[in-house]
Each structure stands twice: as C-alpha cells, then as structure tokens.
Amino acid sequence: MERIGFIGTGVMGLPMAGHLLDAGYPLGVFNRTPERAAPLLERGAVWHDDPASVASASDVVVTIVGFPADVEEVYLGGGGVLAHAAEGALAIDMTTSSPLLARRIAEAGEERGVAVLDAPVSGGDTGARNGTLAIMVGGDEDAFGRALPLFEAMGSNITRLGGPGAGQYTKMCNQIAIASGMVGVCESMHYARAAGLDPARVVETIEKGAAGSWSLSNLMPRAIAGDFAPGFKIKHFVKDLRIALDSAVEMGLDLPGLTMAHALYAALEAAGEGEDGTQALLRRYEQE
C-alpha cells in the first residue's frame, strides 16, 4: 500500500488520519502541537519533525491545516511539501482555503511532477469521526482516481467537481449556504425561548419539515444545552467566510446574507470567542 503522510492532526485531522490507519495504510504524521498526534503514534503511526520529512518519506501527502497562509507555507515554502516530495508523488490539501491558492499550488506541483488535489471537506467533527465527510475535489481526473481509496476511508459523499480550485469553490458554496442558515436557526431558537417554548422540543418538531437542516439537527441541540465546544471553530469559519467574500468580489457578486453572517461571526471572534464552535452564535442572541 502507498505510504501516506498526514500533516495536521487537529479536531478534523486526527480522526481522518485514524481512518487511514484503520484501512491499513502506513502512516507518517506531523503536527505543530506534537501531543495532538499522540493517539495516532500509539496506534503505530510514525512521527516526523517537519513537513519536509513527511513529504520525503511518503507516496501521498494529505494536509488539513488552519489558514491559507499555513497552506502556502506547507506547500510552497522551502521546507514544504513540493520542495521535498519525489516526482510522481500525490499531494492532497483538505484544508478549506483559497481557490486561487489551490491553483497556484497545482501549477507548482505540475512543474515538479507532483499531482495536487484540493479536497476540502464538510460534515464537522461528527463526520470526521464517523468517516462520513462530504469531500469536494478539484484537480486531475487520474490523480482523483488514485486518491479515491483514501477518500473512501474518510468520507461517504465524494465528488470531483473539475480542475484545480474547483473543490475550494464548491466548499465556498457550502459555507455560504451554512452561513445564512446558521443565522436563521439561531434566530429561530431565540424566538422560541422568547415565546416561552422549550427550544429542544421545537427542534424535534420542525427538523423533519421544510425547516430541517444539518445545523438545526446537529448544532442547535448542543447550543441549547450550553455546549459550545468546537466541531468547527468560529475563527476558522470567519476565515472561510472572508475567502468567500473575496471570491465574490472577484466575480462581481453582491451577497448580502454572507456579508451579514460574516459580520456577526467576526464580532464574536473579536470578542474572544474564536475558539468556540459555530453554534456559539446563539449566545450572541441570548445576551441581548
């Protein structure tokens, strides 16, 4: 089996890498906070001290890091993946990042004989743990075929949307849909409480009808119970919405719902709540 290198073992990356171990792949790992990789090391993964070491020891490198600047450093820096991967290697970035950066990385990879896929995911920490992530892929069709067994170990809804950058553009569509939807479900629960209703029972009542959504069924019960632990952190959501807004400007689009949602979440991050989960938006209404 191909040797897999995995960079980024946080809330999402840790269970995703674990599924690759479950599938029998030899796995090498690197994370900026080494202790977060400990559960994988205990199961037989091999530790590497930096991305360069991961790349040089792997046939396929999978990354899921924080921000576009991190992606750029991991791939395009002198100590990064493309500078140290062997010709014929495959690199898969599963971070939600800039579509334009994804294209740059793919072009740089082509110059070095390294195939690159952008493959951001959706489904949160629950999807990562259960191996049911939606995986949105951009890049060469042959590279996608090579990566498909890995994707099938981590997700259940896997689609190649087009060439380099297509996965990231699709993830922006996903985040735009979630953004305004999160505002709606939080306002719905705030309204329920103001009306003297039990919000948990309201969720149970309306989630099977036209109002049903993943956010309503999976995140609102947590928020109602006062659980704001992150499946997906506010600071990362703000980053995603900023990328979507920048892309919209490039395309000449006016997206007022996205603009409003970004402003609300940016205010939460500015108030020191960036490490909380996106469901913490409900707390903004409860504090009124």
- Asked which of 131, 164, 197 is the last residue of a domain, the reply is 164
102 and 137 in a common domain = yes
And the tokens for 48? 């590497």
14 and 83 in a common domain = yes
269 and 212 in a common domain = yes
Residue 196: helix, strand or coil by DSSP?
coil
| pLDDT reading at 286 higher than 90 | no
| pLDDT reading at 43 higher than 80 | yes
| pLDDT reading at 174 higher than 70 | yes
189 and 151 in a common domain = no
Taken in order 164, 159, 215, 127, is the CA torsion positive or negative?
negative
| pLDDT reading at 2 higher than 90 | yes
In b/e form, how buried is each residue of 211-241, taking b as 16+ CB within 10 angstroms?
eebbbbebbbbbbbeeebebbbbbbbbbbbb
Residue 125 has a pLDDT of 86
Mean pLDDT of 239-256: 95
* pLDDT per residue as tens digits for the range 67-112: 999 999 999 999 999 999 999 999 999 999 999 999 999 999 999 9
Mean pLDDT of 104-122: 97
The amino acid at residue 231 is G
Number of domains in the chain: 2
Residue 100 has a pLDDT of 95
* pLDDT per residue as tens digits for the range 7-38: 999 989 999 999 999 999 999 999 999 999 99
Residue 66 has a pLDDT of 87
Residue 71 has a pLDDT of 97
- Asked which of 145, 164, 183 is the last residue of a domain, the reply is 164
Residue 231 has a pLDDT of 82
| pLDDT reading at 163 higher than 90 | yes
- Asked which of 131, 147, 164 is the last residue of a domain, the reply is 164
Query: What range defines the domain where residue 228 resides?
Result: 172-286
- Per-residue pLDDT band at 235 (split at 50, 70, 90): very high
202 and 150 in a common domain = no
Residue 287 has a pLDDT of 81
| pLDDT reading at 288 higher than 80 | no
| Catalytic residue list | 171
Residue 1 has a pLDDT of 85
**DSSP H or E segment with residue 93:** strand 90-93
CATH number of the domain bearing residue 185:
1.10.1040.10
% of the chain at pLDDT higher than 90: 95
Distance CA 153, CA 16 (A): 8
More confident residue, 244 or 287: 244
| pLDDT reading at 121 higher than 90 | yes
131 and 8 in a common domain = yes
* pLDDT per residue as tens digits for the range 200-223: 999 999 999 999 999 999 999 999
